[in-house]
Structure 1
Amino acid sequence: MSDQIGTDHPPLRLGTRRSALAMAQSGMVAKAVAELTGRQVELVEITTYGDTSREALAQIGGTGVFVSALRDALLAGDIDLAVHSLKDLPTAAPEGLVLAAVPEREDPRDALVARDGLSLQELVEKSAHSGRPARIGTGSPRRLAQLNSWARETGASIESVAIRGNVDTRIGYVASGELDAVVLAAAGLNRLGRLGEATQILDSELMLPAPGQGALAVECSAADAELASALAALDHAPTRAAVTAERALLAALEAGCSAPVGALASSTPQGETTLRALVGTVDGATVVQLSATGTGSPEELGRALAARMLAEGAAGLMGERIK
């Protein structure tokens, strides 16, 4: 146990969204911070605009809707640190705050939760035998673009349905029979102890995840150097390098977290980073997908790959949103 901060301080206040997933994620970080600092950590529940709005994320902008209220609380001194899903974090660094730690990433891939325990291929085949398309729900333009692209390539008949809501709500659409399947982040299901409900983990060759998916971000005030220094012990260097490359690409594309952009990087202990990325139209008709590997700055790698994608026409594919 570290005595960097000491045990004679009041409990640390960790800000979190109120959803079950956010609370589970923040609880994991709170435990680690308590062990690291020797201080108690209290969860402070904060409601964000993304939690209260019922509009599709793509319609309300996506970027920052789950983050702004937590950052405001940090800047106001109402909380000492905050935990975010890194994929929700805007790429622009906020003045006065520091990304103190990016803990080791969970599985970044997407997961299918389908009726009758079916895989994606089995689902579309059974639906075809019934004379109808498979109804698959997701609130993500990125997932819709790749599902629709896959369907075009394979000749599968699917009907992609835009949905919102927490994990219970989304899986409930399948349980009720309203949808045949939904696509969710595998990391979120795992953190909730519900990965067993997934009927297939979708390979990243089929569906690239969102930049930063599966990773968490721990933020605190830049003025609290002591806390920032202590939290740095939670940082996982390969994860930090990978998500830095992904987020640099996203920033260079000038795309928010609601744009149809997929990216996944991996980094070796030797400092080599490989980045794969995709931009596509929501209907799946046009896709730009490229990759790059380098041993230099992950940020430079991300920017360079984004430049190549823009040269291939990616900019014209990101304006479309879920209607």
Structure 2
Amino acid sequence: MPTTIHTAPGRRLVFGTRGSLLARTQTDHVRALLAARMPDWELPTELIRTEGDELQTVTRPEVVWPHLGIGVFTRQLEDALAQGVIDVAVHSLKDLPTRCPDGLVLAAIPRRAVCWDLLVFADDPGPVEGWARREWIVGTSSIRREAFLKRHYPHWRTLPIRGNVDTRLSKLKGGVCAALCLAAAGLERLGWWSPSQPSQLDTPNGRFFVRPFGNEDGLLPAPGQGALAIQMRAEDARVPILHELLNDPVTAAAIAAERACLEALGGGCRVPIGAWGRPASSPHRLALDGMVLSPDGQHCIDAGTTGALTDPGLLGQAVGQRLIEQGARILLGEAGA
């Protein structure tokens, strides 16, 4: 790979992206935001294949699971960024480790999309009141979502399903499972789902039925879920420009609190931890709720408080410490964290 490092301001920024439809859509979203403010800039894209992409085609779980750890969908993008192959990497923030590699920084975090999860059905599931009598198989590769479903719907079974969003929906359509648990943000960015019509999902492969899951259901999002991370080389002089144009301060503060909580717990992206940061009712305050589930769903601990909007890291550490005092590390030990 070439190792040219661009340190001077310029009007050409090479964006790196994974090849999936969602990854390209998210990168194009950020490029469009920047192009609207800097119409004379050249913003080409470079496709980067990650370890996570390579594993999508492996069918044996015993081969896949040991590799699905922190950075599996981001490491090759970060390598390309550090080596000067690309100038900007756009990530789903929940996939990023809590600390950037040396020489790289988060230049901006744009405004967050919907951060909740959706239960997606190929057929109309009927009223929620009747779900207790159903014996469904639900596809998910998220330990957090699996633990939640085991806790609230112990009669359901979960099935690990990997692949890009469109691949998973094709498997659902094909009858591999009765439902999928997916993040709302990706489906919203693809233009397939909208909070204004939360019960339906319209895709190129047809219409699906949807039931959102959120805080009122007892499921907090993964730390950083629904947010995008714009990563650059720390020495690139254009970092302040992208920060000024693209960073949303409230979203960035909420994400910082969630990731500080995650770091305090010593967890990664494959542990049953939920965290939700948002503006508090009082001015200049940030609220944060956190939760930790046991893998079997039998136990759940939660904590929440508010803190200064200007110090989200301290707020995240405080919530993480409250969870630890209630036994979070015991539950995370059960999850292999």
Shared topology, TM-score over 0.5? yes
What is the letter of the counterpart of residue 272 of structure 1?
R
Quick one: distance in 2 between partners of 1:87 and 1:253? Answer: 15
Contact 2:109–2:229 at 8 Å: present in 1 too?
yes
Quick one: distance in 2 between partners of 1:316 and 1:239? Answer: 31
What is the letter of the counterpart of residue 12 of structure 1?
L
Q: CA deviation at 1:120?
A: 8.1
Does residue 277 of structure 1 match 2:290? yes
Contact 1:112–1:119 at 8 Å: present in 2 too?
no
Moved more, 78-87 or 160-169: 160-169
Show the 5 A alignment for 1:194-273.
Answer: 194-195=192-193, 196-197=200-201, 198-206=209-217, 207-225=219-237, 227-232=238-243, 233-267=245-279, 270-273=283-286
Normalization by structure 2: what TM-score?
0.85
Moved more, 281-290 or 243-252: 281-290
Does residue 34 of structure 1 match 2:35? yes
Does residue 189 of structure 1 match 2:187? yes
Q: CA deviation at 1:65?
A: 0.7
Quick one: distance in 2 between partners of 1:60 and 1:282? Answer: 19
Contact 1:289–1:309 at 8 Å: present in 2 too?
yes
Contact 2:52–2:68 at 8 Å: present in 1 too?
no
Contact 1:16–1:26 at 8 Å: present in 2 too?
yes
Does residue 290 of structure 1 match 2:316? no
Quick one: distance in 1 between partners of 2:115 and 2:279? Answer: 14
Moved more, 46-55 or 258-267: 46-55
Does residue 17 of structure 1 match 2:18? yes
Does residue 309 of structure 1 match 2:323? yes
Quick one: distance in 1 between partners of 2:127 and 2:67? Answer: 30
| 1:117 corresponds to | 124
| 1:163 corresponds to | 161
Show the 5 A alignment for 1:131-146.
Answer: 133-146=135-148
Quick one: distance in 2 between partners of 1:61 and 1:35? Answer: 36
CA-to-aligned-CA distance 1:68-124 (integer Å, 9 cap, x gap): 111111110111111000000100132111111000000000011113233683672
Quick one: distance in 1 between partners of 2:256 and 2:161? Answer: 29
Quick one: distance in 1 between partners of 2:249 and 2:284? Answer: 10
Normalization by structure 1: what TM-score?
0.89
Quick one: distance in 2 between partners of 1:282 and 1:10? Answer: 49
Show the 5 A alignment for 1:100-115.
Answer: 100-115=107-122
What is the letter of the counterpart of residue 161 of structure 1?
L
Structure 2: give runs of 5+ residues left out of the alignment: 1-7, 194-199, 202-208
What is the letter of the counterpart of residue 307 of structure 1?
Q
Q: CA deviation at 1:58?
A: 5.2
Match of 1:177 among 175, 178, 192: 175
SS state of the match for residue 214, structure 1? coil
CA-to-aligned-CA distance 1:193-223 (integer Å, 9 cap, x gap): 2214251111223221100000000011111
Spell out structure 1 runs of 4+ moving beyond 4 A.
55-58
Moved more, 264-273 or 296-305: 264-273
Quick one: distance in 1 between partners of 2:72 and 2:130? Answer: 33
Contact 1:252–1:303 at 8 Å: present in 2 too?
yes
Quick one: distance in 2 between partners of 1:123 and 1:261? Answer: 29
Quick one: distance in 2 between partners of 1:175 and 1:281? Answer: 31
Quick one: distance in 2 between partners of 1:310 and 1:250? Answer: 11
What is the letter of the counterpart of residue 158 of structure 1?
W
Quick one: distance in 2 between partners of 1:289 and 1:315? Answer: 13
Match of 1:46 among 45, 48, 66: 48
Quick one: distance in 2 between partners of 1:119 and 1:93? Answer: 45
Q: How many residues align?
A: 306
Structure 1: give runs of 5+ residues left out of the alignment: 128-132
What is the letter of the counterpart of residue 20 of structure 2?
S
Quick one: distance in 2 between partners of 1:123 and 1:168? Answer: 28
Contact 1:124–1:158 at 8 Å: present in 2 too?
no
Superposition CA RMSD, Å: 2.1
